[in-house]
Structure 1
């Protein structure tokens, strides 16, 4: 090796080392970067409904008890299960239903007060009717007395597989019989010391209806007979902002609204100085779980809690863990910027936006024009903060008769959700194997959703779990194919820099108004994702029946100014997702003027890489 060459190598190494030291000194951002890697938002969140995940019981009796239908445990989510989730391409596991909530199951022998069945939804109960913020659901423990220890072990197992842990934070309401028996010493319970003679007081935890007894909704028929009537005096406001002593059966009647200092009956006046008691108690609860190793919180109905609280509490928790993430369940696009900029949320649900637009397309109506409207009007400059999904516990299963009737219809929609922008993706457990609820499972009824209220076994998912082998050997060939698609998509979207960190350029206008032949402006959608080093053309056909042959034109502005390509250079075009042997050649001018010929089968996606030859 020549001396000149050696000097060049030494200079390169020294330059890299100096750059490395520089990077180390600049790590004063709000959120630090793992292992000095460039931070990006392309998380893949896997929502586990914890009581259903590991349940292998196949009885599935309508309104079956815990002993009849079985229940999954923390311990069922083994190291092997977590390794398989990691192979699937998951980065964050959202364990739903961890915190103790109201239930019709009797755990009184363990010192847990029973709940009155008249104010519980389903035999297992709703995970969004929290009964004790400082305890975990005893259903999920093999040894109920050691239930917290079993949860802590699950957190450790999850971290050992380089996965992050998310749990629910339910800030807007609690169960009607909330009472913490596991709260730390010195902690005052919600409602302790409240002035119950007034509707509103800034330091009250609840809202009251003085001199009015609570009355149960009409039509209640719980599957477990109550031992006594439920009494509440004075009545408290119900969780979904119902200031009526008798909520309806369609209200969140099993919950009571928490008071964050907003006087709802007094013109929604905000009384935040001094800091309301509920703010302080909720901060302490978040700190409690953060110190147990929880890496983030999915915040239920976050927009029902004042944005000022979030803007105050999230920095308080970030002081404990700078990398903590907060995901807001939110359905008002007018508030998106507010909850990101002022509420300081990491991510927001993109339900009233991309999910709704894609659902219409998957059901065979709607138009891809809605997708452009979503990114232009709803997400805008916060697109990297929008969490995209097609299923979660609130939504109907894709495979069900109430939605698309076929899980493979999701392929273009899911690929677009993962690649449209740099933000995170979410998958609901069993989505990747085509779970299809076909019967009433208890309180949930037959509505295309997997029950969140009752004990149940999920047949398609049980086939993947396969008695704890987690090998999917009992899945049929179509379910295996579907899971392979999700695995490939997750790894592609998180490993390709143009997807996880690149810029976006909508190609619709250039192809609709540029008169690309047979370009159906209602069913074909295309865009660019690119960085300096990587350039992708993403094209979708959302039509269920038609094969569409068309051309994709790239505006000169996109090719030259945005992607820094030259009009006179020759380029290879490779199909990288789904990966095929397809190769083509084109000159920059041809991409602008004639366009790239492409054939799209029904419900297909093609992601093409443009590479200088």
Structure 2
């Protein structure tokens, strides 16, 4: 066969293949497979939003979207997969390139298939995947925008005013100057509602009546005038107010008034002591064989709030003063109406936000209803989910509810184990977080450290560095060592002061305000170092146009050497690097090699901007 015959054969074969392809694809679809639109990596841009996603057939697509002022100025994609996936992704990129984010959100898989014309039905899932993966990048953009518009680039710096330490609300105004001077822009107050027999702040028996220990009078218990006045005083000082929203349980004292609101279970009790042994759902009634009648009795009754010990499933932690709300109750409309009235009650007093107690124990649709109900009339109201102890699945459910903030577990990190950053970088995609060195449920940090002032300062700084939001519990600034107690704490427990780091907290709060990456939950990366006593941590802004680098001697007892040949390895923009101090100094780094010793608990901070 000569060359001309061979070329003719190849041409005939290509014509045959093209003809067969046209049985399944339109000419336009085939043109995209040969000349794809914007296949590749988007050139560096300060507004790039990137997402990766695998399809059901294990293809992998990565989107690079350049978004400016709500418009997709460029849409690129990179693909590891089959030709049909490439065609669908190429058409999606072409459709969203140059349009607004809002319009891009309206595009669905059917729109892509319609534009492609003829396309194999067996591969329609490629269009679904292309659109779904593109929307993940838009999610990141919208979350970054939400952080900026809602927070005005300033993360919440929260002072937890633990009410049992302060007593009557009429006296709280005396502490406002101190709180303001430390630079806090939020005050969070634990429940002020009237409580049940246990006296616990979280065992609420009447949401609309104030706990008498905080009220000025019987009349004030009903009107909440003193609290409304305090909120006004906070606002005059530029401080917003957040209250606890406890809706997963109430005091058992409320059961008699609303018997159909609560979860019912089979309760196994010991006959002799009446102690609860176990709870069972309706269709799991335990047998007398397992629980002999001479030792146990089994009753169908309202269940207390409880938790099962994961290490021993036969062991329960039972809160006998609490009863769990049943959001599947036939009378759910009454429950919803009650808590909507409570939300209104707070918002009309001027409350700016809600800390959602044990948020992951309340069904997502319930949260969605309440959040939507509030934000339709109060769009700037903030919802902070208390999520400590939640699983990844529970975090995913809470995220779907539209919470503005979640809670981190960094307080328990040893600055070494990988779990903390793995958790942070996974959960930060859902909502920005709030960190703290202690809260009202934990031991006092000053007690845990034996009253060390230097670690008290650093651990607040680290919490402020780690998350968009930061919180302390009242008394942290003075090194209080007695744990707060939701039942027994009184104003007499104020003190003694171990030290006063109020000025240090003020410096840290001012420092946090100045740097965008510290007011966002951008990526955090830990670098390995040959000395286990040294922590190297890099935090970026959401748009990754600012990086802050922390070097910390995590050994609180001995000095540790640090040698870094070139800081540009960790701060790799082609722009100047600056060393920072909390006093506001910003010193240009002219020698990128660092070789020195860090004292116990000593740290260094560096920053670099991309532009």
TM-score w.r.t. length of structure 2: 0.63
Query: Is 2:235 the partner of 1:159?
Result: yes
Sort the Cα spacing of 1:610 and 1:212 in 2 relative to 1 into closer, same or farther, 3 A: closer
**Structure 2 segments unaligned to the other structure (5+ residues):** 1-68, 70-100, 103-141, 277-298, 309-313
- Name which one, 1 or 2, has greater alpha-carbon Rg: 2
- Match for 2:457 among 411, 430, 436? 411
Decide whether the 8 Å contact of 1:573 with 1:584 is kept in 2: yes
Equivalences for residues 244-283 of structure 1 within 5 A: 250-261=317-328, 276-283=333-340
CA distance in 2: counterparts of 1:88 and 1:35, whole angstroms: 23
- Match for 1:327 among 384, 401, 412? 384
CA distance in 2: counterparts of 1:86 and 1:434, whole angstroms: 19
- Match for 1:355 among 373, 396, 411? 411
Figure out how many residues of one structure are paired with residues of the other and give that number: 444
Decide whether the 8 Å contact of 1:132 with 1:179 is kept in 2: no
TM-score w.r.t. length of structure 1: 0.63
Larger % of strand: which? 2
Query: Is 2:176 the partner of 1:90?
Result: no
Sort the Cα spacing of 1:558 and 1:340 in 2 relative to 1 into closer, same or farther, 3 A: farther
Sort the Cα spacing of 1:375 and 1:211 in 2 relative to 1 into closer, same or farther, 3 A: closer
| 2:253 counterpart SS class | coil
Decide whether the 8 Å contact of 2:244 with 2:356 is kept in 1: yes
Decide whether the 8 Å contact of 2:164 with 2:491 is kept in 1: no
Query: Is 2:473 the partner of 1:453?
Result: no
Decide whether the 8 Å contact of 1:575 with 1:583 is kept in 2: no
- Match for 1:432 among 459, 477, 482? 477
Query: Is 2:590 the partner of 1:585?
Result: yes
Shift of 1:395: 0.7
**Structure 1 segments unaligned to the other structure (5+ residues):** 1-18, 20-25, 54-71, 103-114, 181-188, 195-203, 220-232, 263-270, 362-366, 438-448, 464-474, 513-518
CA distance in 1: counterparts of 2:566 and 2:207, whole angstroms: 54
Sort the Cα spacing of 1:210 and 1:551 in 2 relative to 1 into closer, same or farther, 3 A: closer
- Match for 1:538 among 544, 550, 562? 550
Decide whether the 8 Å contact of 1:548 with 1:602 is kept in 2: yes
Decide whether the 8 Å contact of 2:306 with 2:316 is kept in 1: no
Shift of 1:256: 1.1
Decide whether the 8 Å contact of 1:214 with 1:235 is kept in 2: no
| 1:526 counterpart SS class | strand
Alignment match, 2:537? 526
Decide whether the 8 Å contact of 2:202 with 2:486 is kept in 1: no
Superposed CA deviations along residues 380-423 of structure 1, whole A, max 9, x for unmatched, are 424x52211121111111111x56653532433332221124x2
Alignment match, 2:171? 76
CA distance in 1: counterparts of 2:398 and 2:181, whole angstroms: 31
- Match for 1:397 among 436, 440, 444? 444
Query: Is 2:573 the partner of 1:479?
Result: no
If asked which structure has higher relative contact order (CA below 8 Å, sep 6+), I would say 1
Equivalences for residues 275-314 of structure 1 within 5 A: 276-314=333-371
Query: Is 2:372 the partner of 1:315?
Result: yes
Shift of 1:339: 4.0
Decide whether the 8 Å contact of 1:536 with 1:608 is kept in 2: yes
Alignment match, 2:106? none
| 1:126 counterpart SS class | coil
CA distance in 2: counterparts of 1:403 and 1:523, whole angstroms: 20
| 1:150 counterpart SS class | helix
Shift of 1:375: 3.0
Equivalences for residues 198-209 of structure 1 within 5 A: 204-207=261-264
Superposed CA deviations along residues 479-506 of structure 1, whole A, max 9, x for unmatched, are 12x2222221112112323422585452
| 1:83 counterpart SS class | helix
Query: Is 2:518 the partner of 1:499?
Result: yes
| 1:479 counterpart SS class | coil
Alignment match, 2:429? 381
Alignment match, 1:15? none
Sort the Cα spacing of 1:581 and 1:532 in 2 relative to 1 into closer, same or farther, 3 A: closer
Sort the Cα spacing of 1:248 and 1:256 in 2 relative to 1 into closer, same or farther, 3 A: farther
Decide whether the 8 Å contact of 1:574 with 1:610 is kept in 2: no
CA distance in 2: counterparts of 1:216 and 1:284, whole angstroms: 41
CA distance in 1: counterparts of 2:184 and 2:429, whole angstroms: 26
Shift of 1:539: 1.7
Sort the Cα spacing of 1:601 and 1:33 in 2 relative to 1 into closer, same or farther, 3 A: same
